């Protein structure tokens, strides 16, 4: 434990800003992944243990698209959509068969997908590290804030994530489709009886959830190395975020993701081996005090 270093960083403006910016990008990536997870759980009741794989797919698809076209926008879209499509396929072909079965079956099926996809990626791309590199559009001088250098790309990431989050929130709470989806979460039979194609909605929601994870992966691709298995750590942390924030709550996922982002960023300086411990301690605390999470509702 190196608490003096932590204190020193907190008092230095430039160090603080650097760490805050790290916290923010970790937080935004986590938010996107966790939002997808939360959505899938809130509407379908499925705990998607394969969610990390969609993050990984998004990163790799973005990487390939960028290498092929040189355009970051295309890469971002490719990563997100690619993951989303895989999500829809997975839901239709496999998940739909385990609805209503016990949790362990769902867990296993998702874990199986993770195993297959991880090795699939290894097969196609090889197990070595890949780097996408910063796209030309963002190869600008970093922004200077309080003596620290914050890459412009970071600001872009945060912006995209916040915009997406808002869009998502609006879509769910202010549109008819969103209302239908919320109704679906509460009483699927009734919605079906009203003539809505519930199967399509299920697939769609799962697709959007995995799209969000893929988007996070695509956004992360320029600044992180790509290897099969990058999904794992995100998976566990996104669960922590979902539990702390509340299953089914987008706003909760946002808050909790930021919290975790800060713990990661500052913890790396002060208590690197105990970062996970702290996160899990908070998760346990939330479960004991308010199991539905900070902003979660009672089970729909």
Partner 1 sequence: MRSRLRRDIVVGLILFFVLFFLPTLFPKPALRDFLIYVIAYGLLAMSLNLLIGLTGLVAFGHAAFFASGAYTFALLMQSGRTSIPLAMLAAIVGTTVLALVIGAICVRLKNIYFSFITLAFQMFLHSVILTWVSMTGGDQGLQGGIPRPVFFGIDLNNARTLYSFCVVTFVLCLAIMRQVSESPFGYTLRMIRDNPERANFLGVNVVRMKLGVFVLSGAMASVGGIVLALFVSGAYPEFGFWTTSGEAIFMLMLGGTQLFLGPLAGALLLEALNHYITIYTEYHGMVLGVVILVIVLGLRRGIADSLFAYVTRRRRGRRIDDVKRPILQPTKNEPA
Q: Summarize as ranges the residues that interact with partner 1 (CB under 8 A).
A: 1, 41-42, 45, 47, 94, 97-109, 111-116, 118-120, 122-123, 236, 239, 243, 247-248, 271, 273-278, 280-281, 283-284, 287-288, 291-292, 298-300
Q: Which is nearer to partner 1, 121 or 220 (CB)?
A: 121
Rounded least distance, CB 281 to partner 1, Å: 6
Short-list 15, 81, 73, 82, CA closest to 222: 73
CA distances from 245 to 26, 38, 206, 297 (A): 16, 9, 20, 10
Rounded least distance, CB 274 to partner 1, Å: 5
Sign of the dihedral defined by the CA atoms of residues 67, 54, 224, 245, in that order: positive
Q: Which is nearer to partner 1, 14 or 292 (CB)?
A: 292
Q: Which is nearer to partner 1, 67 or 97 (CB)?
A: 97
Q: Which is nearer to partner 1, 151 or 188 (CB)?
A: 188
Rounded least distance, CB 48 to partner 1, Å: 13
Q: Which is nearer to partner 1, 112 or 200 (CB)?
A: 112
Q: Which is nearer to partner 1, 148 or 269 (CB)?
A: 269
Which residues, listed in sequence order, are joined to residue 150 by a DSSP beta bridge? 143
Helix (H, G, I), strand (E, B) or coil at 150: strand
How far apart CA 163 and CA 141 sit, in angstroms, is 24
Short-list 104, 90, 106, 93, CA closest to 53: 90
Rounded least distance, CB 199 to partner 1, Å: 17
Rounded least distance, CB 127 to partner 1, Å: 9
Q: Which is nearer to partner 1, 115 or 170 (CB)?
A: 115
How far apart CA 75 and CA 61 sit, in angstroms, is 7
Rounded least distance, CB 113 to partner 1, Å: 7
Neighbours of 144 (CB within 10 A): 11
Rounded least distance, CB 219 to partner 1, Å: 26
Short-list 204, 231, 209, 207, CA closest to 220: 231
Straight-line distance from the first to the last Cα atom of the chain, in angstroms, rounded to the nearest whole number: 42
Helix (H, G, I), strand (E, B) or coil at 22: helix
How far apart CA 43 and CA 184 sit, in angstroms, is 7
């Amino acid at each position: 434990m190196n608490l003096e270093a932590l204190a020193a960083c907190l008092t230095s403006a430039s160090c603080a800003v650097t760490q805050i910016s790290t916290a923010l990008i970790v937080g935004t990536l986590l938010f996107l992944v966790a939002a997808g997870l939360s959505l899938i759980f809130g509407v379908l009741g499925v705990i998607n243990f394969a969610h990390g794989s969609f993050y990984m797919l998004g990163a790799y698809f973005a990487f390939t698209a960028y290498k092929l076209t040189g355009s970051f926008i295309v890469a971002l879209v490719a990563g997100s959509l690619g993951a989303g499509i895989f999500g829809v396929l997975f839901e239709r072909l496999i998940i739909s068969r385990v609805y209503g079965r016990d949790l362990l079956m769902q867990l296993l099926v998702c874990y199986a997908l993770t195993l297959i996809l991880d090795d699939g990626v290894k097969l196609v791309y090889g197990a070595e590290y890949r780097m996408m590199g910063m796209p030309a559009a963002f190869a600008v001088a970093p922004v200077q804030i309080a003596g620290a250098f914050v890459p412009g790309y970071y600001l872009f990431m945060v912006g995209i994530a916040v915009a997406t989050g808002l869009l998502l929130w609006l879509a769910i709470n202010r549109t008819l489709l969103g209302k239908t989806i919320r109704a679906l979460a509460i009483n699927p039979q009734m919605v079906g009886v009203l003539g809505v194609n519930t199967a399509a909605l299920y697939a769609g929601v799962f697709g959007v959830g995995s799209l969000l994870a893929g988007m996070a992966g695509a956004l992360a691709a320029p600044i992180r190395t790509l290897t099969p298995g990058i999904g794992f750590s995100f998976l566990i942390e996104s669960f922590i975020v979902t539990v702390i924030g509340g299953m089914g709550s987008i706003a909760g996922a946002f808050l909790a993701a930021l919290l975790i982002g800060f713990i990661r960023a500052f913890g790396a300086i002060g208590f690197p081996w105990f970062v996970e411990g702290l996160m899990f301690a908070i998760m346990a605390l939330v479960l004991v005090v308010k199991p539905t999470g900070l902003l979660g509702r009672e089970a729909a």
